[in-house]
Amino acid sequence: MGMPFRQTVRLGQYLMKQKLKGAKNFPLLVELEPLFACNLKCIGCGKIQQPHTLLKQRMPVEQAVGAIEESGAPMVSIAGGEPLMHPQIDEIVRQLLDRNKIVFLCTNAVLLPKHLHKFKPHKNFSWMVHVDGLRERHDLSVSKDGVFDQAVDAIKQAQAAGFRIMTNSTFFNTDSPQTVIEVLDYLNDELKVDNMQISPAYAYEKAPDQEHFLAVTETRELFAKAFAEGRRKKWRLNHSPVFLDFLEGKKDLDCTPWGIPSYSLLGWQRPCYLLADGYAKTYKELIETTDWEAFGRGKDERCANCMAHCGYEPTAVIATMGSLKESLRAAVSV
């Protein structure tokens, strides 16, 4: 299974518009971080390593919405930190939906039951719940016991209230094909979430655990074995077939670092969500003053083991929409 039909159509229309305009660099999705504070200490994330003064800050609604409007991106992934700790997160979501954006609200789900009543189901809105494995593995990744059960209960409450639910799972070199299969089978067949997003862990420089990130060869071996026997076709994965081919080593892709830019309290992050080579005040400045050709595997040593969604899914989506064969393959998988 591929990306939802509505999302696929929206991206296709957007890409056609960019092509007709002759645009060279354009965002498919913006990673919006309206705060860095979080209620958990995940081993693969370093957001809460920010200075205490910055952790106390919350992005104003008009600033968050204005950044997305400036970029022109059709989709927004709101992350952090934990977005539900932002007192006006529901207003940010509402205003983005009013502007016809597709919105994914990323959360560890611990606070979801408390805040669920502030939101309404919408065709362009999805909860994106962080689930890194079944109970033991997930609780280890977030450094707190009981969080897996809280996340599962929150998902069920949101489903009962009529919300669209997606999950995001990051895999490390401590994972095996079997642990990948187990969590995706559980999310797909038992919890029955609408779509699942997966990613090999990238060596984020501020992350507490620097020993368990996947190298390229490890990533390809892990997903090739997990996807074997036609399993990837039955899972409702929120990825293009081209990107999944890339993960298991069937296809190589160049990074498209401008495809999913990141905007936070510090500004527009150069060049991507995973590298911090400074910040631009405006989206225009980010696009016009960043040397986009300098990044990606084989160009920057920091990118050597990166196969992350933020750099390679845009490449895969653009390749899919530019090929009749791949467009048909993607349509069949939806």
- Report the share of the chain in percent with pLDDT over 90: 75
Between 195-204, 208-217, 259-268, 291-300, the lowest mean confidence (pLDDT) is in 208-217
Closest C-alpha among 193, 188, 194, 247 to residue 219? 247
142 with 187: CB under 8 angstroms?
no
67 with 4: CB under 8 angstroms?
no
pLDDT in tens, 112-129: 999 999 999 999 999 999
Q: Which fold has domain 5-333?
A: TIM Barrel (3.20.20)
pLDDT in tens, 207-239: 455 565 788 999 999 999 999 999 999 999 999
pLDDT in tens, 4-19: 777 888 888 999 999 8
Domain ranges of the chain: 5-333
Q: How confident is the model at residue 36 (pLDDT cuts 50, 70, 90)?
A: very high
HEC secondary structure over the chain: CCCCHHHHHHHHHHHHHHHHHCCCCCCCEEEEECCCCCCCCCCCCCHHHCCHHHHCCCCCHHHHHHHHHHHCCCEEEECCCCHHHCCCHHHHHHHHHHCCCEEEEEECCCCHHHHHHHCCCCCCEEEEEECCCCHHHHHHHCCCCCHHHHHHHHHHHHHHCCCEEEEEEEECCCCCHHHHHHHHHHHHHHCCCCEEEEEECCCCCCCCCCCCCCCHHHHHHHHHHHCCCCHHHHCCECCCHHHHHHHCCCCCCCCCCCCCCEEECCEEEEECCCCEEEEECCHHHHHHHCCHHHCCCCCCHHHCCCCCHHHHHHHHHHHHHCCHHHHHHHHHHC
Q: How confident is the model at residue 251 (pLDDT cuts 50, 70, 90)?
A: very high
Cis, peptide link before residue 27, omega less than 30° from 0:
no
Which residue in the block uniquely carries the two structure tokens 């957007």?
14
pLDDT at 58 > cutoff 80: yes
pLDDT number for residue 192: 98
pLDDT number for residue 42: 85
**Integer angstrom CA distances of residue 162 from 114, 227, 229:** 16, 30, 33
Between 98-112, 156-170, 307-321, the lowest mean confidence (pLDDT) is in 307-321
Which of the two residues, 332 and 194, has the higher pLDDT score? 194
pLDDT at 312 > cutoff 60: yes
Q: Which region, left, alpha or beta, applies to residue 326 given φ > 0 means left and ψ of -120 to 50 means alpha?
A: alpha
pLDDT number for residue 144: 93
Closest C-alpha among 223, 235, 273, 254 to residue 106? 273
For residue 168, what are the β-bridge partners? Answer: 130, 197
Whole-number mean pLDDT of the chain? 91
**Integer angstrom CA distances of residue 78 from 29, 96, 247:** 10, 11, 24
Closest C-alpha among 224, 232, 124, 236 to residue 190? 236
For residue 269, what are the β-bridge partners? Answer: 279
Which of the two residues, 6 and 24, has the higher pLDDT score? 24
Q: How confident is the model at residue 82 (pLDDT cuts 50, 70, 90)?
A: very high
Residues 52-74, mean pLDDT to the nearest whole number: 97
pTM: 0.93
